[in-house]
Amino acid sequence: MKKNIVALVMLCSSVAALSMSAPAQAQVGQNTIGPALAIGNGQTTVGVNSKFRVSDNLSLRPFIYFPSGGTTFGSGLTYDFNLANSGSKVQITPFIGGAVFINSGAGSNTTVAFTGGADFDITDTIQLKAALDVPLSSNNSSTLVTLGAGFKF
């Protein structure tokens, strides 16, 4: 039952993100999805990160991770700083914002976190991401470091 609820929430989040990213569709290659490693709470977990541009400087960042003893999913909303990287092959886009983490394990909880990091456009189709999520409460949450790759579309 919990897996069905998690799947339904992720589906609704994806549909909402896609509908909100429609104005940004003129910017080809600004949306991404790909694998990620999340390091925190004494373990390293795998998952999927994505980014959907809502406007020139706002991005919705849904995610799902699979730690032992449950599933963690949620979304972040970030302000992206579009830097002019003249002369560099790698485009760097720092971001800052907030995220909501929902853990569906035995001790299920919801955590709000401050998030910040950077996207690194390596090629026209590949983007790397590094982020730091700092929870605003102490309900079984710890700081999380996320490293990932995304395929642009």
**CATH number of the structural domain spanning residue 99:** 2.40.160.20
Domain coverage including residue 11 = 2-152
Cβ atoms of 60 and 21 within 8 Å: the answer is: yes
The token duo for 88 is 């560099």
pLDDT of residue 12: 44
Q: Tell me, what amino acid is at 6?
A: V
Cβ atoms of 13 and 52 within 8 Å: the answer is: no
Number of neighbours of residue 90 by Cβ within 10 angstroms = 10
Q: Number of folded domains in the chain?
A: 1
> pTM of whole model > 0.85?
no
pLDDT of residue 113: 96
Arithmetic mean of pLDDT over the chain:
84
25-73 pLDDT, tens digit each: 445 578 999 999 999 988 899 999 999 999 999 999 999 999 888 899 9
